[in-house]
Amino acid sequence: MRDFRDAKLMAKVLKQAFADRNTTLTHSEALEIVAAQFGYDQWNILSAKIDVAEKAPGTSAGAIGIKPPIPIFRIFDVSKAMEFYCGFLGFTLDWEHRFGDNFPLYAQVSREGMILHLSEHAGDASPGAKAFVWIEDAVALQLELVGKDYRYMKPGIEEAPWGLEVTVIDPFSNRIAFCQKK
């Protein structure tokens, strides 16, 4: 789902799509249709929501601008970490940082908007941490992972009271529980 702050662009695209089909749609009609798609009765209500979302942190609207957290997992072997996160889980290595030659690695990996930081630095995190991640299709993930035939992990799928879970454990005892809501 697109962010509702894209609503004006969506209205413009909708108006052009109608024009391409030789159907006239006013800009205000397009805005009203987009507002309805976001579940609002009228454009003015959606517009007010957009204004609040675009306010700078610390303003009277109270929007602080909190973003999703980025878990930091402690690792002890870069090649094993990359084999697990990039090879097995399908993450992409976004960047890596070292303060110099023969220094510990700090890196970012991501997949479909999920970001993890991996660190060899003592004190950044404790091994054995756990991250809980909502996903759309636990069965598809479990089948994808089992299909890779990774020698150290063949995750199953569990039915928890809150949804279907696929839990993976990295070589350093860090766990990620991927969960599909019931």
Amino acid identity for residue 165 in this structure: E
Residue range 6-20, pLDDT digits in tens: 777 777 877 787 888
Q: In terms of C-beta distances under 8 Å and separation of at least 24 residues, what long-range contacts does 90-94 make, across chains too?
A: 90/144, 91/116
Residues 107, 156 within the same domain: yes
Q: What are phi and psi of 7, to 5 degrees?
A: -60, -40
Cβ neighbours, 10 Å, residue 159: 10
Residue span of the structural domain in which 14 resides: 4-54
Position 64 in a domain: no
Position 50 in a domain: yes
Cβ neighbours, 10 Å, residue 85: 26
Position 59 in a domain: no
Residues 90, 141 within the same domain: yes
Which of residues 54, 80, 96 is at a domain's end?
54
Residue range 26-70, pLDDT digits in tens: 888 888 888 888 788 888 888 877 766 666 454 445 578 888 999
Residue range 126-175, pLDDT digits in tens: 989 999 999 999 999 999 999 999 999 999 999 999 999 999 999 999 99
What is the domain count for the chain?
2
Position 157 in a domain: yes
